[in-house]
Structure 1
Amino acid sequence: MGKKSDSFQCQSGFSSPACMASEVAPGYFDPLAVDPAQARDVARWRKSERIRLREARKQVATAARDDTAKALMAGLRDVLRHRGDGSGKLTVAFYWPIKDEPDLRPLMQELFDSGVDIALPLVETRAAPLVFRRWTRDTRMVRGHWNIPVPPPEAPVVHPDVVLAPLVGWDGGGFRLGYGGGYFDRTLAALSPKPFAIGIGMQSARLPTIYPQPHDIALDLILTEDGVQVESEARDV
């Protein structure tokens, strides 16, 4: 994080060392981010929270992480059962698990076998919306951006009906704290029609707020191992 001046030391008792939460108080916070100093404070706070939440996730025992993944897959099965037009013609964009994220690949394979089209996101252009390419059990994965396995260039590009977004943190407004690249927000803003966006994360990663900025897009639903936590008004896929 680097050396902090006295004015940036957290005095409010929050867990993050450079949290800026006392400066980003409800009476001061402007969601339109007109004040550039406030936007910088929010960015610093988010960086600190990412570090804290990722470290906490790293400490979760393997058995507990497996139980979390199983609970998430059970909840996701139920959610997806009510999406689409009943014909089973649904395209769901999963994600390849990294950085101690719950592993949902068994459900990805199960849904593929049941006739659901599966896609995976990849970065084709930096600082641009994600591209979704079709995945099958026979797909020969290649290393993509950040060394994440992705479908090869010859895999068809698809427009997902449902997009799963991994959460580092989340809040009751349906806003997502991700890894800081802005790719999912950029993608949701660009896709038309907009897919149904489901945040996947841990209950312990809930925050009072992420201090949403103008570029942040609320998810349609947030799912944790404890079930659905946030749900917008239902939209047809």
Structure 2
Amino acid sequence: MPASTPLNDTLAADKAALRSEIEAKRGIAHNALSETAGTAIRDLFLDAAPRADAPVIAGYWPFRTEIDPRPLMTALHALGHRIVLPVVVRKAAPLKFRLWGPGAPLVKAGLGGLVPDIGAPELEPDLLLVPMLAFDDTGCRLGYGGGFYDRTLEQLRGLKSVRAVGVAYEAQRVPAVPREATDQRLDAMLTETGMTEFEGSSA
């Protein structure tokens, strides 16, 4: 494990403070918009996002006050895409992805989220819908601190071309996300108000 430095400690403190601030803002947005946001991001994504090279798309099962991607996942499934959900296999490791479809049984995972049961096939996604706490206009994302999506995107981008589309409420946008060298940028950002593409962001 790398030794702690004043710079690392400051960055960690900045991220922790931002997580607390944005989680509160996300809760307010969720209370106001949760009934309409899921269909809004569905329609925006289907209108704006290229999907021809993405036969396998990773969604996520919403946790706490995360914006709900299930209307979009269901629509993509109906269009013939194979939908997978992320599974934490162990600490400090990339995520695995298990096949999901409407009505598929789910089980509670170690971090409290719901995932397909262990018998579901594992597939590598070509496009990922990525949850978060905060994002900025450069494609930087602030997650929950486990680094799972950063490790996963680094691994997948080393193997093939993949797209990472962040999904969040517009209220989660911030001027700048504190960034470490290991943080992976998003290719695009989807909120209930629109979709933004980032240039040169597959890194």
Match of 1:44 in 2: 13
Q: Distance in 2 between matches of 1:109 and 1:228?
A: 19
Match of 1:185 in 2: 150
Match of 1:136 in 2: 101
Contact 1:172 1:230 in 2 (8 A): no
Match of 2:170 in 1: 203
Match of 2:61 in 1: 96
Q: 1:234 and 1:218, CA in 2 relative to 1: closer, same or farther beyond 3 A?
A: closer
How far has the Cα of 1:229 moved from its partner? 3.0
Structure 1: give runs of 5+ residues left out of the alignment.
Answer: 1-34
Contact 2:42 2:69 in 1 (8 A): yes
Return the index of the structure with the highest Cα Rg. Answer: 1
Q: 1:211 and 1:79, CA in 2 relative to 1: closer, same or farther beyond 3 A?
A: same
How far has the Cα of 1:110 moved from its partner? 2.1
Give structure 1 regions of 4+ aligned residues with deviation exceeding 4 angstroms: none
Q: Deviations over 1:30-79 (max 9, x none)?
A: xxxxx921221111111111111111221236452223322222112123
Q: Distance in 1 between matches of 2:21 and 2:161?
A: 32
State the percentage of identical aligned residues. Answer: 33
**TM-score with structure 2 setting the length:** 0.89
Structure 2: give runs of 5+ residues left out of the alignment.
Answer: none
How far has the Cα of 1:234 moved from its partner? 9.3
Higher mean alpha-carbon deviation, 48-57 vs 138-147, is at: 138-147
Q: Distance in 2 between matches of 1:107 and 1:209?
A: 28
Number of residues of Structure 1 aligned to a counterpart in Structure 2 = 197
Q: Is 1:54 aligned to residue 19 of structure 2?
A: no
**TM-score with structure 1 setting the length:** 0.77
Contact 1:188 1:194 in 2 (8 A): no
How big is the alpha-carbon RMSD for the aligned residues of Structure 1 and Structure 2? 2.0
